[in-house]
Amino acid sequence: MNKVVIVTGGSRGIGAATSRLLAEQGYGVCVNYRSRSAEAEALVADITARGGRAFAHAADVSQEGEVPGLFNAAEQVLGPVTHLVNNAGMLAPQARLAEMELARFARVLNVNVIGCFLCCREAARRMEGGGAIVNVSSVAARTGSPNEYVDYAAAKGAIDTLTRGLSLELAAAGIRVNGVRPGFIHTEMHADGGEPGRVARLSPQIPLQRGGRPEEVAAAIAWLLSDAASYVTGSFIDIAGGR
Ligand code: NAP
């Protein structure tokens, strides 16, 4: 079987670790990103140099008009899309809910929830021979992220519910849909929230006493996509050091 995966937000952080691992496992990988082409192209060059198959494609997953083009590109370069990792996500600077602007809340929902919905919908329409989807949620869906990112936590809660419902809709079609919930992982995302050192600050509160590595999340995603998880759908793996 020619395994072809789209990894949204695949150019950096958890997405990049996932793209690398899946390429090593023989998938053709479409590395999606929004705007930072240098990181995406460097990752693709590295995967290709190691004998893998990958290419980069820019698309804002929250834009309805850009998602079909992402799937078309993957199909043209690599073949029919059989697997999808909805990893693209973002957060806004730390703030209490009372101080949040509507525009910010809407942007966070658009990228995290609408982006996931649009890519799931495209996959559901195209994966005729079955397939597997992993949605990247967050432990924030459980904790609510008070005083920092209630908007982001609410978006991740929506992703969990969407994952559960879609898994039931698509089960009979042979498409498995699962989720991962990372905890505090060392990536650049925390700088976008205004605190690059956030993971180090919070490490003492993590039962395993450290932040996670992107590769540790990638391993769980790859397992859920794989045939080893052939009887797993509508499930979630927390990768959060015990949080
Ligand atoms: P990151 O390092 O900030 O990387 C974000 C990636 O998403 C980049 O490739 C970025 O592309 C892409 N992206 C952002 N908005 C996009 C859009 N609208 N359309 C397409 N691509 C977009 O993030 P990360 O920390 O690896 O997080 C990855 C996922 O894990 C997210 O869903 C996040 O919510 C989740 N997560 C992370 C943590 C953590 O502690 N890091 C914890 C729980 C959950 P550009 O490079 O072009 O900007």
Q: Tell me, what CATH number does 64's domain have?
A: 3.40.50.720
115 lines ligand 1 (CB under 6 A): yes
Domain that holds residue 120: 4-239
In Å, how far are 79, 108, 187, 190, 210 from 1, measured between CA atoms?
A: 11, 37, 33, 38, 39
* Number of domains comprising the chain: 1
Half-sphere exposure of 3 (CA within 13 A, CB side): 19
Mutation probe of ligand 1 site: the residue of 107, 187, 210, 215 with most atoms within 8 A of C-beta: 187
Query: Which atom of ligand 1 is nearest to 152's Cα?
Result: 34
CA distance 96 to 87: 25
Q: Taking Cα atoms as reference points, which of 83, 86, 88 lies closest to residue 60?
A: 88
Report which DSSP code applies to 50: T
Q: What is the pLDDT of residue 56?
A: 98
Q: What is the pLDDT of residue 166?
A: 98
Question: Mean pLDDT in each 10-residue stretch from start to end of the chain (243 residues)?
Answer: 97 98 98 98 98 98 98 98 98 97 98 98 97 98 97 98 98 98 97 94 96 98 98 98 97
Residue range 130-179, pLDDT digits in tens: 999 999 999 999 999 999 999 999 999 999 999 999 999 999 999 999 99
Query: 83-86 and 53-58: which strand pairing?
Result: unpaired
Q: Taking Cα atoms as reference points, which of 167, 191, 170, 242 lies closest to residue 212?
A: 242
Mutation probe of ligand 1 site: the residue of 8, 33, 181 with most atoms within 8 A of C-beta: 33
Q: What is the pLDDT of residue 111?
A: 98
Residues annotated as catalytic (active site), given as ranges: 152
CA distance 110 to 89: 10
Mean pLDDT of the chain: 98
Tokens read off for 152: 């982001």
